[in-house]
A and B are shown apart, each in its own frame.
Chain A
Amino acid sequence: MNQENLVPLRYPLSAKGALEPPAEWAELRERCPVARVRLPSGDEASLLTRYDDVKMVLSDPRCTRRLDAEDAARISESESGGVFNAPMATALYSAGQQRWRMMLTKWFTAKRVNALKPGIVAMTDRLVDEMIESGHPADIKARVGFPLPVWVICDLLGVPDTDRDRFARWSDMMLNLTRYGQTEIDAAEAEFGAYLTAHLDMKRADPGEDLLSSLLTATDADGAGLTDIQLVATGQALLVAGHETTANMIGKMLAMLLSERRRWERLVADPSLVRTAVEEALRFDANPGFGMPRYVEQNIEVAETLLPRGTTVVCSMAAANRDENTFAGADEMTLDRSPNPHLAFGSGPHSCLGQSLARTELQTVLEVLLRRLPTLELAVPAEELRRVEGLVVGGLRELPVRW
């Protein structure tokens, strides 16, 4: 039976250490799999923490992303509800999410991403070169984790190297729930939109091999293409979805591996574990950010609890990834864990479009660092690592290392 919590928990939940899960997760999975929570906006939602429930809701067509519905919970204090109901999200929703996704999928298949790998290795080597040159201790998040995904996305979009820093700043501002005010977020969005509009005009005149050039002329099965607004929104969406998430995951993955150095040493001794180690880091990440909100369009039952139409649910994939009923020894980081059906990229038709790219970036960073800097270690005690505040995506403020 589901125990009702009478006083809603404040969400997001807090945790003791930067790499530790919130204490409530285990308790909630056990006793209160559908928990009342109060979001930063003050609105209430239902939090799901069990693997089976989260997985079901993420792929259930009755639970949609219509978070701008009249009675949907707002996520943050800011009027627009942050990135989940930004104009970008609305433009893409109107494009028909699945139609839009189909036009993009071919850019993110494993084969395509494999072809990008040599370029990603070269970019990573260059960033590591520059970090080594400036000497240690170094903040590897700022040096490698943050720039790499922007470089990769800029390449994908055909954006010149010289504009990479501006891209990084826009991305940071658009994903923020509390650090910047609504005016600043709106300004960043407008600036970025104007840049992309000009960029599209350039690509229209002089098409390249990049994703946006191909989308300019692409049509779906019915022969319909994307409008300019939708194309700009696509550029925004790819940056927002692919930058902070991957950048922070690089930092957290390295922190998890270095905070217990025998993990790092095991990989140095056996680099063939890189692939499973990356999956395990994705599963084990206790600080992934907000989770995935969904709007319930028709009554559904989850963990023997009725979720009435109009409910907003928050799926905690990270809590689900620690569910002992699915993962034996869920609170242990097991570098060769297999199988590892974690939900870090979601599940079902809305699961992360860029997951192959993200995996390749994470694997590449790890491979390059194991090869170049096998003596890598944290330059501060793990207890001193701090979480970033105010982002939809969780991460560490910095990750000081030496070698």
Chain B
Amino acid sequence: MKVILDQDKCVASGQCVMAAPEVFDQRDEDGVAILLNDSPSEAGTEDVQHAASVCPALAIRLSA
């Protein structure tokens, strides 16, 4: 699975970090999300899907 994060859309809600802390973090300066790992392991799939679904800005896309 590939994770695509659109930082221009991000509204710094931090929801993705709450859902999948291994995959997402926030920039200190403005809270905008950063991708720690764009190809998370199978084990992390569910968390990442959850992160994408709770993102209020729809800034996270997943592809196979």
**Complex Cα gap A105–B30 (Å):** 6
In the complex, which range does the number of interface residues on chain A fall in?
20 to 34
B58, A341: Cβ atoms closer than 8 Å: yes
B12, A351: Cβ atoms closer than 8 Å: yes
B53, A105: Cβ atoms closer than 8 Å: no
* Given A110-B18, A111-B17, A276-B54 contact (CB < 8 Å): yes
Interface residue stretch chosen among A174-182, A232-240, A291-299, A342-350: A342-350
Encode contact with A along B1-28: 1 for CB under 8 Å, 0 otherwise.
0000000000111111110010001101
- B31 at interface (Cβ–Cβ under 8 A)? yes
A110, B14: Cβ atoms closer than 8 Å: yes
CB-CB under 8 A from A108, the residues of chain B are: 14, 31
CB-CB under 8 A from B11, the residues of chain A are: 345, 347-348, 351
Chain A min CB distance to B39 (Å)? 22
**Complex Cα gap A288–B25 (Å):** 30
Encode contact with B along A78-113: 1 for CB under 8 Å, 0 otherwise.
000000000000000000000001100110111101
- A339 at interface (Cβ–Cβ under 8 A)? yes
B28, A339: Cβ atoms closer than 8 Å: no
A111, B26: Cβ atoms closer than 8 Å: yes
- B29 at interface (Cβ–Cβ under 8 A)? yes
**Complex Cα gap A340–B56 (Å):** 6
CB-CB under 8 A from A106, the residues of chain B are: 28
* Given A109-B17, A114-B18, A102-B29 contact (CB < 8 Å): yes
Among the interface residues A110, A349, A353, A356, which one has the most CB atoms of the partner chain B within 10 A? A110
Residues on B facing A (Cβ under 8 Å): 11-18, 21, 25-26, 28-31, 53-58
Residues on A facing B (Cβ under 8 Å): 101-102, 105-106, 108-111, 113-114, 275-276, 279, 338-342, 345, 347-349, 351, 353, 355-356, 359
27 CB contacts below 8 A, A to B, read A101-B30, A102-B28, A105-B28, A105-B31, A106-B28, A109-B14, A110-B14, A110-B16, A110-B18, A110-B21, A111-B17, A111-B26, A279-B54, A339-B55, A339-B58, A340-B56, A341-B56, A341-B57, A341-B58, A345-B13, A349-B30, A353-B31, A355-B14, A356-B13, A356-B14, A359-B13, A359-B18
